[in-house]
Structure 1
């Protein structure tokens, strides 16, 4: 896929993602008074995901961003789709019970499903590739990874495959690793292009984004339709 060269709006963001960003649009600064059902602060992954979800449901939504869409961590991260958490789900069960563990398990896999659905629905060009591996360099790593695979299988995600010995070289051409696991529902994407694609989809549904519009104060008026002033 060919990428356009770096454009002015992201000249202050020196990264591969900024240099290969698609369809960069400079959006207006918020001036004066605007009204909406929901105002969202921040045009990163969380803000744009929430804004798009609300716009799909028919709400009038405004997003205000202090810099540009995807300017912070959302447009600079590694772009990996890794299902799971930094701790085993059994830790959730230990502290909060079996139902909490079940819910956390579902949420962990839901994120990558939402991304794939939006990429397909809105034609987001973000170089999405399926599958990833978590690898281990010694026995202690493998004990953790075996536990992770067993845990996913217990939650019904049997497509996660444990790779030991020579099997790891099916996915990683290196002798440094003793094993790992492969998750076909993991993946990798161009993180900035993904959030820019969400922004374009949001605007196509009537949503409005104001850039260079830093929020300095929030007042609780307890009324829908209250004027929003940046």
Structure 2
């Protein structure tokens, strides 16, 4: 299935950065990673850095799936409020999930600095009430985060207008967020892995997974066999094809990016991403070259032809909403696109083995709006599971957690 529509900015900006070879013979490795997006890249990098012989298999070109369509807002803030997570899983678990996401952002910063040139920059995050009736829930969320030590500030309507130039009943300003070019970062991680001797294969489709007593046997569409001690399935929402029962709902999200805007005109948007309490929510963030990326208008369409047909209309709506908030900005759309993603009921990811496949097959389902942040967490979590070590998030992010 085609995972995206239109012209995703990262693919347009970067082009096909490097072509890796397809698998043309049988292969053996310690860990086989199925999926050549940013999730697979972060996990493969973590495993290889700690001594595993890793091989990556991507059915398209590397990075050409959902990673190319990602808008890459790096936040500790989960789409599900901490207050609501606490009701589902208990306050301790809710705080554990939020803190793990907060710790993942500086980890991603260090990784980006290591591979270099991926448009990473730290930012703040302004989460504003779309309607007056949202203020009460937003204030409860602020109080819980503040009580647990998160660096947040409460802004009343006048402060939102004074600092950011638009009208909203109230907002939470979080100090910890960031941006990145996810397509470029995935490519640069894979290129580094390849240079260091790891195997990276694109245009290689895995057809079957067979768990055995001492290893896992993978078979490709071309009939080649891959024998691995462990397998990590990091194929985005397509990972669900390996499970008899679906664990998440497919969603499509839409986005546009503008021509470059003078940074003086962008003002606080240069260093602050903006999103709202409405669901689906409007969100905005800038790029290193001064463009404004606007996203949202999510729906449950996952049929490529239907999604394709909606891109232009959805982009117009996004542009109208952004212009209503910031009428002074010269918003000239350059490219628009859509991507299909998966979403769990509680907004948390799934990492680890599934009973259907046994302990040697690990799923890395970094689903929801925090996909890249979750992937950074999941890299360490999956490594711990493979090494048979305990991890504080193993239970909460497992298939056995129950979603309330």
- TM superposition score category, shorter chain reference: 0.7 to 0.9
Distance 1:225 1:141, change over 3 A: closer
Correspondence list, 1:100-111, <5 A? 100-111=93-104
Q: Which residue of 158, 162, 169 maps to 2:161? A: 169
Is the CA contact (8 Å cut-off) linking 1:161 and 1:182 kept in structure 2? yes
Distance 1:203 1:167, change over 3 A: farther
Residue of structure 2 equivalent to 1:131: 124
Q: Which residue of 80, 83, 92 maps to 1:90? A: 83
- Structure with bigger strand share is 2
Q: Which runs of 5+ in 1 are unaligned?
A: 1-11
Residue of structure 2 equivalent to 1:190: 181
Distance 1:42 1:200, change over 3 A: same
Find the aligned partners of 1:212 and 1:160 in 2 and give their Cα distance.
Answer: 45
Q: Which residue of 53, 62, 84 maps to 1:60? A: 53
Residue of structure 2 equivalent to 1:34: 27
Cα shift at 1:39: 0.0
Cα shift at 1:169: 3.4
Cα shift at 1:227: 7.9
Please say which of residues 162-171 and 43-52 is displaced more in the overlay: 162-171
Is the CA contact (8 Å cut-off) linking 1:36 and 1:227 kept in structure 2? no
Cα shift at 1:202: 2.7
Cα shift at 1:182: 1.9
Q: Which residue of 3, 8, 24 maps to 1:15? A: 8
Is the CA contact (8 Å cut-off) linking 1:55 and 1:205 kept in structure 2? no
Cα shift at 1:171: 4.9
Find the aligned partners of 1:165 and 1:213 in 2 and give their Cα distance.
Answer: 53
CA-based RMSD: 2.5
Is the CA contact (8 Å cut-off) linking 1:36 and 1:225 kept in structure 2? no
Q: Which runs of 5+ in 2 are unaligned?
A: 220-224, 227-404
Higher relative contact order (CA 8 A, sep 6+): 1
Is the CA contact (8 Å cut-off) linking 1:133 and 1:171 kept in structure 2? no
TM-score (norm 2): 0.49
Residue of structure 2 equivalent to 1:81: 74
Match status 1:222 vs 2:187 = no
Distance 1:172 1:197, change over 3 A: farther
Find the aligned partners of 1:170 and 1:30 in 2 and give their Cα distance.
Answer: 57
Cα shift at 1:77: 1.5
SS in 1 for 2:175: strand
Is the CA contact (8 Å cut-off) linking 1:165 and 1:179 kept in structure 2? yes
Cα shift at 1:162: 1.8
Residue of structure 2 equivalent to 1:3: none
Residue of structure 1 equivalent to 2:204: 213
Distance 1:13 1:138, change over 3 A: closer
Find the aligned partners of 1:204 and 1:227 in 2 and give their Cα distance.
Answer: 24
Find the aligned partners of 1:207 and 1:144 in 2 and give their Cα distance.
Answer: 48
Distance 1:172 1:68, change over 3 A: farther
Is the CA contact (8 Å cut-off) linking 1:37 and 1:224 kept in structure 2? no
SS in 1 for 2:174: strand
Is the CA contact (8 Å cut-off) linking 2:34 and 2:40 kept in structure 1? yes
Is the CA contact (8 Å cut-off) linking 1:168 and 1:180 kept in structure 2? yes
Distance 1:90 1:56, change over 3 A: same
Is the CA contact (8 Å cut-off) linking 2:23 and 2:204 kept in structure 1? yes
Find the aligned partners of 2:144 and 2:125 in 1 and give their Cα distance.
Answer: 17
Cα shift at 1:37: 0.3
> For 1:91-139, what per-residue CA distance to the aligned partner results, in whole angstroms no more than 9, with x for missing partners?
3333333432332222232332321121122224234342221222322
Q: Which residue of 187, 194, 199 maps to 2:190? A: 199
